[in-house]
Structure 1
């Protein structure tokens, strides 16, 4: 599903919605020569339609998240703090309750003996409809927040999805900007990348590689990771067909090789056997002796031959593209 497909499901901010409702109630039933009772019925209908429209959009959004599962369902839970299926049940119940309130209020208004009784039935009906909305503002705000989040995510559809992972400041954003059309924010402090960023690399005639830049992951237990790190973990678990793990061996590195290799092992376990390439970045800033020590350390502890590159100068980026193209040719897919 493309990110723009979520835009039609974005509901209003509760305060914005209540302001819209107030304006619509002022103008509803004001045209034409109709009875006071007919005007009240139109206003009541307007109120219900607006409330039902919000619940309907929320229900449609949650249905999509439940159907998609995986990455989308876990990201919803991360943002909202509750399973999307549970929220869907609640919204469906709220929608039914609003429908019942409207039906009973409309019946009371139509059967009212006089204008005074009709107005009382109208006020009670609108009050109950607005109340059911207000009491669930927190839930509706969480739904809006996550729908906005999904609508702003990059398009990750392609023939091969490759996650670029590593600790903060390993050079992930610089690498994706050199290999693709992506323009991530590149900074000199940890967690510059706070969201998932995607860039596309078209390899004719084989197809499209999607490179996904993720926030940095720190060497600490899952329970201690912040929401930014959890986004990266979810991307590795659910979006990766293959993965590039960047290590910074330079003297100016933010994190030790011990810490970086610990995170590598964590990521490796998440991949469940999918293709993985360890990439030693920043060769331009690392003395040859220290670079070789880092390579030997990777060989010894990870049991693989790392690829040495410099995302900044372009060193060995062609070799990296060749590895990615090889995966695309062989039809590597994670699903």
Structure 2
């Protein structure tokens, strides 16, 4: 049973609480309503506001009431600790007020929703909603003090240690500055502040240690003074609460040097004063600071007081451990005897727990069901335990003083972990030790693979590879001898070889051209005509070789290549007069505009994909007619996605979403 008070959510202040709920209502509900709406819609709009606000209050208040622990439901230790630290009455009163506020808010919402059902106008509905939210906020403002008090309680509870009241625990107690925190720092991994003045420890600290493979909880309590219970302060009452309710072994530390500022008589008086809290708990009285003052140096009166404390700690568990003579002694400074004190406390608590389990009714029921069977011997033959011969031999060698090297030592000598590989075969128990390192046969289909392997296979493979290299070298030499050398050729043979190489290069280039560009292109780009064969000169010679007149074809090809330039020069000549000629009789170009109408441009064009000029004009009119619908929409074409209104209402208005900060 462990309580984690760090999970309790923070309690906001009243003003922040109101802002959070109202802001959430504004963000999560509709915000636009008009007087022109139907009255049922207006009522529903404001009823939703009131209901959502009531639900928000209910959820947040219920979360607070559920997170804080109930005093009557927790362990008595935590119940009394809450009473000591925060006053149980105030704590219950604050939670009760929040519970009442939650019920009042629910009732207000119910009443105003009923009134909103009969609202006859937008104004009346709005005023009812405003009154409902205002009354809810007023109720929470009245409970501002309760919210602030619970937040302080939550902050303090989050700093409390997580103590398990039922686990194995060692409870350290005594006067202030006797060495309780020092003992805890030595036996656990905790780091409690230690100072040479009283009441350094102001609350209960928890540490953990291990003993017999079990986890133990060590509690360091604040110091206690010997005075009546009603005069003790909050710090002391924490220790009294722990002593009264925790099932733990109590370790009472006595400062034998009296450097804590309290004499042995005062420490003994405190011990006997709180002795009723030790009832039904194992008790250990430890003498601390023996490095300053020995136990033998005590006076008779002080020794008698210590003996009185020793007699008080005797009990059934202590008698089983043989603890009836001396008290455990230690020094937290030199760590002398610290672990012995811890071990004695743990053993005493374990024995005490066993006694409690045996004394319970449940243990008796279990014992009645147990039966230990003892086998009856069937003969008088002795059957001693079997000890392997290897173990006997190792024991004999060890008894003789022979040093036995372990596997770990071999590992460290041969490179360490990850490098050394243990030899497992040396411990094989075979008839012949020479068989330990034999190769394990590989069985395939019931047959040993080694029986089908030629022992000379590697040598034969090397011989085959050598013969193959010799044959390759011989073939290469013969090939070089068969090929004619260019130096041995005469002039005619060299010319023929050059023609062959040129023809081969042309064939390769033609093949690459066909593969890259293809032969189906109607127009051959200049970059494809690498040899510049496609010109008017070759075309004229080719046509004349077939008996055709190529004059018209050549003129047409030349005119099409210069059609733009000729058209411009002709237009310039037509627009010039006699005055525009220079002294050499050449025409001068003017800057007169050459814009033409659509009909004129269509007439001058030849072809254009249509068979006649009329068809071209008809197609142009049809295209213009089809575009009129788009022109009316102020769009340049089907792909026009322009939004003419730069800030349309539907795109730049509405509520803000979650995480948005921009306003309308």
| Fold match by TM threshold 0.5 | yes
Question: What's 2:329 paired with?
Answer: 308
Question: What's 2:341 paired with?
Answer: 320
Aligned pair in 2 of structure 1 residues 81, 156: CA closer, same or farther (>3 Å)? Answer: closer
In structure 2, C-alpha distance between the alignment counterparts of 1:108 and 1:6, rounded to whole Å = 43
- Give yes or no for contact 2:50–2:133 (8 Å, CA) kept in 1: yes
Question: What's 1:221 paired with?
Answer: 228
Structure 1 window deviating more from structure 2 (57-66 vs 180-189): it is: 57-66
In angstroms, what is the RMSD of aligned CA positions? 3.2
Please point out which of 255, 264, 274 is paired with 1:248.
255
In structure 2, C-alpha distance between the alignment counterparts of 1:298 and 1:43, rounded to whole Å = 75
Matched, 1:268 2:268: no
Q: How does 1:163-242 map to 2 (within 5 A)?
A: 163-205=171-213, 207-242=214-249
Larger radius of gyration: 2
Question: What's 1:53 paired with?
Answer: 59
Please point out which of 277, 281, 290 is paired with 2:288.
281
- What is the deviation of 1:114? 2.5
Structure 1 window deviating more from structure 2 (16-25 vs 100-109): it is: 16-25
- Give yes or no for contact 2:167–2:217 (8 Å, CA) kept in 1: yes
Matched, 1:100 2:100: no
Structure 1 window deviating more from structure 2 (38-47 vs 222-231): it is: 38-47
Look up the SS of the partner of 2:334 in the other structure.
Answer: coil
Unaligned runs of 5+ in 2: 35-40, 313-325, 358-664
TM-score, structure 2 length as denominator?
A: 0.45
- Give yes or no for contact 1:3–1:152 (8 Å, CA) kept in 2: no
Look up the SS of the partner of 1:243 in the other structure.
Answer: strand
- What is the deviation of 1:330? 2.4
In structure 2, C-alpha distance between the alignment counterparts of 1:263 and 1:50, rounded to whole Å = 54
Aligned pair in 2 of structure 1 residues 44, 191: CA closer, same or farther (>3 Å)? Answer: farther
Unaligned runs of 5+ in 1: none
In structure 1, C-alpha distance between the alignment counterparts of 2:204 and 2:233, rounded to whole Å = 15
In structure 2, C-alpha distance between the alignment counterparts of 1:5 and 1:329, rounded to whole Å = 30
In structure 2, C-alpha distance between the alignment counterparts of 1:184 and 1:275, rounded to whole Å = 25
TM-score, structure 1 length as denominator?
A: 0.84
- Give yes or no for contact 1:66–1:85 (8 Å, CA) kept in 2: no
Measured against aligned partners, the alpha-carbon deviations of 1:294-323 in whole angstroms (never above 9, x if no partner) come to 454221356255322112221111221221
In structure 2, C-alpha distance between the alignment counterparts of 1:23 and 1:127, rounded to whole Å = 14
- Give yes or no for contact 1:3–1:153 (8 Å, CA) kept in 2: no
Q: Where is the strand percentage greater, Structure 1 or Structure 2?
A: 1
In structure 2, C-alpha distance between the alignment counterparts of 1:33 and 1:113, rounded to whole Å = 15
Aligned pair in 2 of structure 1 residues 50, 168: CA closer, same or farther (>3 Å)? Answer: farther
- What is the deviation of 1:279? 1.6
Structure 1 window deviating more from structure 2 (239-248 vs 22-31): it is: 22-31
- Give yes or no for contact 1:160–1:332 (8 Å, CA) kept in 2: no
Look up the SS of the partner of 1:123 in the other structure.
Answer: helix
In structure 2, C-alpha distance between the alignment counterparts of 1:38 and 1:262, rounded to whole Å = 75
In structure 2, C-alpha distance between the alignment counterparts of 1:13 and 1:281, rounded to whole Å = 50
